[in-house]
Amino acid sequence: MPITVKLPDGSQRELDSGATGLDLARSIGPRLADSALSVRVDGKNVDLKAPLPDGASVSIITGKDPESLEIVRHSSAHLLAQAVKRLFPEVKVGIGPTIEDGFYYDFLVEKFFTPEDVTAIETEMKAIAEENLPVICEELSRNSALARFGSMGEHLKVELVSDIPEGETITGYRQGDFFDLCRGPHVPETGKLKAFKLLHVAAAYWKGNEKNASMCRIYGTAFNTQKELTEHLKHLEEAKARDHRKLGRELGLFSFHPEAPASPFFHPKGAIIYNELINYMHEQYFLEGYQEIITPQVLDVSMWKTSGHYENFHESMYFTEAEEREFALKPMNCPGHCLVFASEWHSYRELPIRYADFGRLHRFERSGVSHGLTRVRTFCQDDAHIFCTPEQMKDEMAALLRFVQKVYGVFGFEEVRVALATRPEKRIGSDEIWTHSESALSEALKEAGYDFHINPGEGAFYGPKIEFQVMDALRRPWQLGTLQVDYSMPQRFGLKYVKPDNTEATPVMLHRAILGSLERFMGILIEHCGGAFPAWLAPVQAIILPITDRVHGYANELLMSAREHGFRVEVDSRNEKVNAKIRDAQIQKIPYMLVIGDREATENSVSVRHRRAGDQGVQPIEAFFGALENEIKQRLR
């Protein structure tokens, strides 16, 4: 019996019973069949060679479709595993998922792969691709899957099969002499994989659990065309040059030490940037009507039980004991702010009350996921909590959305993407409260004119949140600020305010951060500007470069005058040629170089050079100071 399928343009096509997506592509045209990678059947991507059901809505996926990258990268991960098994038969294979911009595969090895090994593996991958091996899906029973992988000596795959719930379909993919457990879909032949690159090797734990075996992870990436791959690799090189860990060392901003894992030590120059970020937010808080408070870092564990953190955030907290009492280092400021609010009587006339706190926070991050400044165990947030009436919540949200745009614009983050993260599985509060909170955030975003998408289940355990994501100079997305609605915590702490009719009510609590973790924000900012900070943030705003020893006295006079004006200025008095001094100042990304010789000393002037714009000519020193002061005051980029 023939079958009928519906095409994207609304037309229908009749095919023989058992026809596949490839048969459909061939019936449309040879060019489509040649470029086809997979097929979408009733909204689900399946293998090109899978039989099509009668009456299905079907579309052919080619390299022009965005979802094709997932298929190409997943197939490339299998290609990687096959190459490894050919070259190193004793290695045991783990898992090989796709990730953002690529894929990886974990291997259980006696000795980690060397760079030379990785080169050989990539060469073998190319050879397998050229063999154009058919990629065939096989459905297996649980017992046959266990027996098959057991006979292959792949005990990690046996463990994975054992974890699959009873009744769930088990599939594997065979290409030549290689067979792997996988749900698919995959490309129909290895020859479809034409543009891939292995990137680096890293250590990982089996299933991400540090109690399990240590695995050797090979990262790679793949694209549909060599041109796309070349552009991506160029992008990676630029990102590598901007890596905040690399620039942090080169510019003397911060360091890490094993004595305090995943905890940065900020050097004098890094501390300047850190403090300038805080100073900027101090100014903005004053303008926006926030009051700053300071709360303890260590609090009795009973408070964390009241707040819900003990039950829902326990694994990420640090605990200690003293005088037979259990305490915890604070991972968040919100419970402490509740105690401050509860310590005084409040009228509705006082609300909203906006408490801001730059207190240090501690959260346990596993060593495998810590990453420079962007994932640390100790950090400070530009954290604040707004206590308001339900009627005030809408205006407070609108004001915060304007505040966020203003702050991000100062740092050059012009494109801001927004998501609404909804109720997670593990949460406190009734479904009615969650529905109301999610609706309030959704309405606030709509009224502010934001396009946003939903992140299901990604909210905090105490409330849904708006997530602000910025795009950096390399078009990479970074999540920064958040806004959360919380009805539960004020109730748990018994917070009250007096209404106009003299009855008591519980305030709504809005949790918000704009920069987020200052450590993380600083890491992102370093990469965004490539370490070339604007003058108001730069650790050294100008450097004085004497041409001759005769003007060292004038150089010191300029230094003292600059400091009296509040500028961060240094003198390079080394016995080096001025071109070498300029080169070194450029490497240190100092905004201004002030070259002085006999003429400048006589005229009380400086020859100004900007790190990007180059020679700015000779200027009277007061004129330069005035221009620099204006640039800093306006926080120009």
> Which of the residues 82, 175, 381, 588 is marked catalytic?
381
Quick check: is 65 catalytic? no
User: Which two structure tokens, joined as six digits, stand for 588?
Assistant: 């240190």
Q: Strands 592-596, 542-546: parallel, antiparallel or unpaired by DSSP?
A: parallel
Quick check: is 182 catalytic? no
CA distance 276 to 523: 15
Which residues lie below 8 Å from residue 262, measured CB to CB, with a gap of 6+?
Answer: 256, 365, 367, 370, 375, 376, 377
What separation in angstroms does the CA of 492 have from each of 228, 436, 486, 526?
53, 18, 11, 40
Helix or strand run (H / E) with residue 222: strand 214-223
41 alpha carbon, distance to own chain's centre: 33
User: Which two structure tokens, joined as six digits, stand for 292?
Assistant: 């700053």
| DSSP 8-state assignment for residue 611 | T
Quick check: is 142 catalytic? no
Evaluate whether 622 touches 529 at the Cβ level (below 8 Å). Answer: no
188 alpha carbon, distance to own chain's centre: 34
User: Which two structure tokens, joined as six digits, stand for 369?
Assistant: 């996921």
For 123, what's the count of Cα atoms within 13 Å in the CB-facing half-sphere? 7
Quick check: is 385 catalytic? yes
Quick check: is 297 catalytic? no
CA distance 363 to 376: 8
Evaluate whether 424 touches 458 at the Cβ level (below 8 Å). Answer: yes
> Which of the residues 85, 186, 385, 520 is marked catalytic?
385
Evaluate whether 84 touches 50 at the Cβ level (below 8 Å). Answer: no
For 499, what's the count of Cα atoms within 13 Å in the CB-facing half-sphere? 9
> Which of the residues 182, 216, 334, 529 is marked catalytic?
334
Quick check: is 383 catalytic? yes
CA distance 594 to 604: 12
> Which of the residues 242, 363, 377, 492 is marked catalytic?
363
Sign of CA dihedral 219, 223, 229, 231: negative
Rama region for 610: left / alpha / beta (φ>0; ψ in -120 to 50; rest): beta
> Which of the residues 92, 244, 511, 568 is marked catalytic?
511
What separation in angstroms does the CA of 113 have from each of 90, 108, 118, 189, 215?
13, 11, 7, 27, 11
Evaluate whether 190 touches 196 at the Cβ level (below 8 Å). Answer: no
Residue with tokens 């009241």: 306
Q: How crowded is residue 331: how many other Cβ atoms within 10 Å of its Cβ? A: 17
DSSP string over 58-104: EEEEETTSTTHHHHHHHHHHHHHHHHHHHH-TTPEE----EETTEEE
Q: Which residues of 440-449 are buried (b: 16+ CB within 10 A; e: fewer)?
A: bbbebbeebe
Quick check: is 616 catalytic? no
User: Which two structure tokens, joined as six digits, stand for 446?
Assistant: 């709509």
Torsion angle (degrees, nearest 10) of CA 140, 143, 149, 153 = -170
> Which of the residues 382, 383, 472, 572 is marked catalytic?
383
What's the farthest any 2 CA atoms get from each other in the chain? 100
SS3 283: helix
Active site residues: 334, 363, 381, 383, 385, 465, 511
